[in-house]
Amino acid sequence: MTNKDGEVIDCVDIYKQPALDHPLLKDHIVQMKPIFIPEVEEDLDNQTIDEPATQNIESCPPGTVPIRRTQMSDLRRVASLENFGRRNTNGGTIDQAGALKAGAGTYLGAKASINVWNIPVEPNEWSHSAIEISDAVKYYIEAGWIADGYGRTGCYNLLCPGFVQVSQKFAPGLIVHPLSTYNGSQFVLPITVYKDNTDLNWWLELKGEPVGYWPGKLFGGEDMRFQEARQVKWVGSVLNKRNKGHHTTTRMGSGYMSEEGWGKAAYFRSVFIFHPLNVVVPQSNVRLFATANHCYSVIWGGGGSILFYYGGPGGPYCA
């Protein structure tokens, strides 16, 4: 099928999807749904301030999953299996602004509604906003939205095998709609990432629907990647390659500084974290940070849920 954005989508047999080409997933039995699903009480005060974004896609038949057909431009992004779960900076530096939870203890997941925008990106760079869960050293998984100037972003979506898709109506990598507008309507992606301690898989949910999972066996082996997370970020990130000898003009969030506030600056809201024993708590004790605060900033917002604004325009004179 071809959607309204011109993206070609194939309904692929669930056992013939790219994930199962991974050498560690030979003879893998697909887990159709998580055994444990954490319950998070939504902040009713904030349910009317924005609306969920979605994808232009029709559901696939039972036993199949929708997968966006790979284009030639996608092949630029493919990284090796050796780099699964590692960040690819492609010769640049990464500027970030967002909220961080780290320190003593371990975490089993996180949740947030992430404001979505359309922003300009310089060639061979990217800008994304995501929940990032990591071992705080080398390996990470993340989920959110990305604006990509064909910047060899690494193993995102299904470009490298490993992420097992189970949803018949959502497909990683498709364009989302509608997008937020300046001083206009605001739209979000309600995203949850968590570890099911029963099957050890790391699950991704969108709008409460299980999209798929990163199998637990991908995070074992000799190097014992991370079985539990040591750090959680709700963060905007920009790959800054200084293409013209100065700081990039690639935007973060909406492209406006956090101080602009509602309807202008991008935001994360309804921020939660999952602790061991499946305790789910709102994060009032996270730390805000910005690595290049003259280019991209972050401030707390008001409202009944945990909400912060972040982002900025970048540019040659901001650093």
For residue 58, CA distances in Å to 7, 137, 213 come to 12, 40, 21
Buried b (16+ CB within 10 A) or exposed e, 69-92: ebeeebeebebeeeebbebbebeb
265 within some domain:
yes
135 within some domain:
yes
44 within some domain:
no
86 within some domain:
yes
306 within some domain:
yes
For residue 184, CA distances in Å to 178, 276, 305 come to 12, 40, 21
Question: Which pLDDT does position 151 carry in this prediction?
Answer: 45
**How many domains does the structure of the chain reveal?**
1
Interval 250-290: pLDDT, tens: 999 999 999 999 999 999 998 888 887 656 666 557 889 99
36 within some domain:
no
Domain containing residue 203: 80-155+178-311
Q: What is the DSSP string of 185-200?
A: --EEEEEEEEE-TTT-
37 within some domain:
no
Interval 129-182: pLDDT, tens: 999 998 877 778 889 998 875 444 455 556 566 889 999 988 888 889 999 999
32 within some domain:
no
